[in-house]
Structure 1
Amino acid sequence: MVIINGPPVSAVQNRVEGCETEFKKHPDIKILSANQNAKGSREGGLEVMTSLLAANPKIDGVFAINDPTAIGADLAAKQAQRSEFFIVGVDGSPDGEEALKRKNSLFVATPAQDPQVMAAKAVEIGYDILQGKTGADRAGTDPGDDDRQNNVSSYKGWTVNKRNPAHNRSADCALRLTNMTARSSDHGTERHYCRRQHAGRSCPPDRAVAGARLAGGNCP
């Protein structure tokens, strides 16, 4: 097995550590490489995978830290005319979704995340921290959808890619909160009230988001 690593940030490190931990439960699995940094990009995935293919005459599987890296690795395999292995990414991104649909793609699966829902949750947690709520710095995790070649047709995709214009202002509200501390001015403390959507549920109508700069005014 090959793990194509990425930038030294916590999300990448956690993915690699989780993968290695699971592999250790299976003594018959040998990790051929786990320290090559493809920089989280398609170009990096192509470059690193090209090198790994030259160094390893047989590979059974590839875990890439995100979809762009996985797509680059798939391209490297095609250029080298290698097809004995499968490739798994992470993100469930639009590009990853398209790659899963391609004929003869070695890219076979990608656990999905939803950036917009995650951003909204982060804003909610940040607000709770400012309010002094205990445990507000901890968020639950959701494994998301397991997007594979055999179920990609039923995959709903990222929220940000499927919202319609009628929802734009509510979505922008969650994405454009830039300052959650009260701002004083000659007219006193500026406050905005936002009924923004958080993972399918609305904020309480009376929740104040202090100092939030919302495009086009307050959310409806």
Structure 2
Amino acid sequence: MNDTIDILRTNLGKALTDTAYMVAVSTVIGVVLGTLVALLLYVTRNRLFLPNRAVNAVVGVIVNAIRSLPFLILMVVLIPVVQLLIGDPYTPTGGAISLSIAAVPFFARVAESAFSEVDSGLLEAAVSTGATMRQIIVGAVFPQALPSFIRGVVLTIISLIGYSAMVGTIGAGGIGDMAIQYGYNRYETGVLVAIVVILIVLVQLIQWAGDAFARRVTH
């Protein structure tokens, strides 16, 4: 018991900081780039904007190809790329890069689904008034899709927390790395139990906060 407490006191703070760093960076990149990809898919599919089957198909295939890879496999495949970019892939920054690449197509599909839920009648009415595509997207699509968009962000964050634990399998830091090094390799069951409890509480808090925010912006 004393060993478990010592390990948690010494390592838990840094592990949580590394995990928070990886999840925060990948969430920002995933949401920003994923939203842009989602808008490209949305406007090239919707007849009211810029329908283009070829572009939509190509982008869709790329998104689906990345999403089809389990994150553990994607992470291993990306190790040479990350090494080329930053030199050492076995760091929280290396983990954040892998997580970001996984987050972009994941959130792109989530955001595209949120945009698709917007009433087509509302869009047609906006078009009939002479509104530009930018005005329609900013003034109609985003406000109407915002609750689903927020829930998608929450889903992405929670998924990235789970993915970040897998980054620990290659020793890139974070809560997963701590669980493997101390909980598994050193047979410290107390460390594993503590990490599981922390992750459950963290996910519950994020889900609760996201749901509350989504309800507030629901029209």
Structures share fold, TM-score greater than 0.5: no
TM-score (norm 1): 0.26
Name whichever structure is richer in helix by fraction: 2
TM-score (norm 2): 0.26
Q: Which has the higher contact order (CA 8 A, sep 6+)?
A: 2
Compare CA radii of gyration and give the structure with the larger one.
1
